[in-house]
Amino acid sequence: MHTLSQLTSGELAGIKRLSLSDNLTTFPLEIISLADSLEILDLSGNQLSSLPAEIKQLTKLKIIFASDNLFEALPEVLGECPELEMIGFKANHIRYVSENALPPKLRWLILTDNQLETLPDAVGQRPRMQKLALAGNQLTSLPHTMGELENLELLRISANQLRECPDHLLSLPKLAWFAFAGNPFCQSDANVESVPHVPSSSFERQEVLGQGASGVISKAVWNANQGDFPNDIAVKVFKGEVTSDGYPQDELNACLKVGNHPSLVQSLAQVSEPGFLALVMNLIPSHFKNLGLPPNFETCTRDTFPQGFTLSIAQIEKIVAQMEDVFQHMHDSQVCHGDLYAHNTLFDEEANIIFGDFGAASMYHMLPEAQQTQIKQIEHRALKHFIDDLLSVCSEEDKKTDAFRRLAIDATQ
């Protein structure tokens, strides 16, 4: 994080990435002095409601973040930024997006948790678009031009007011990660009671194990003997009313609908109290590690891995077999995970996996059979990308094996 004084003093001359969060109410024009170098601008967590025309002078700007500000419209000047590829205006008060606000090279647009009721046709006229996050708005329909987004791979439309499943998007040729829960078209009366309810007072949370968009996971212990339940547990406490992927209650319902599987995090109990929604789970053994890392700005939708990380073809085969079984188990339950990635997968030295994080999951049993088939096909693309990502870190000596070639074919068909 940088400071305004660093910027005004000229100390930041030549930097490529600038982050300013200082309750700014106006855009510091000193930023324009960085035009020769600035590629990433992060103005999240301020009090901004507009951007000046001068911002288009930032001719190298590729990425702008302005989440948690006071914008009521996406600034039109962004459409005049020639190299801008990624726009993130999450958690503002945006009601309006102009046809002119979307730059021609746009490939990643985040408008999560705003107040949008409509989108311009121009959203579907950006052929490089790969990632589009629109969860937590008031959208009642999506432009038919979005059916032309042939490079769109990830779409989040959960927690909106869509009354019909966007049929024109289900046949997009590259769509692989799709979240749509929390809309009128997929409302369900199903009351999933696959695990018992327990009070929040029945356990004590200890150290935080991890957190993501939808909640915080902590190690916990029961305050009294709970019969058949293990003593050491983990508890996921869901955040707020809406997350970047949708409503926490939808995540909980989807997770419980899928039920248990040897390669899934096992659910034990649920807590549903005013202001406190939580899932009690088996504590994952400490020897399990993350299989992958999330996508970065360059890969956009594809996972990354630590420098030097490799897997043998035998490990990859075993991991893929388990994930294929998990995939079939989820879709037998008519649940689309929406985030089938290596970074949501844990593995151990014997290549056993545990898959989790249902934050983007959507139940689809209420949809017509043809749409159910399309949704399964969409997630099957994510499974193929998962295989392809693992093959990218296969040890060099194993890349000449028949097993590698067979999996490579599976990842492309």
Annotated binding site: 236
Which parts are annotated binding residues for ATP?
236
Between vectors from CA 212 to CA 247 and to CA 174, what angle results, nearest 5°?
75
Q: How far is CA 221 from the centre of its chain?
A: 30
Nearest Cα to 34, choosing from 64, 6, 13, 52? 13
Tokens of 49: 């409601």
SS (H, E, C) 248-262: HHHHHHHHHHHCCCC
Six-digit token string for 50:
């507009």
Q: SS3 of 22, please?
A: coil
- Tell me the sheet residues that pair with 277: 272
Tell me the C-alpha distance between 75 and 6, whole Å: 26
Cα–Cα distances (Å) from 36 to 62, 80, 273, in that order, read 13, 17, 54
d(C-alpha 41, C-alpha 56), whole Å: 13
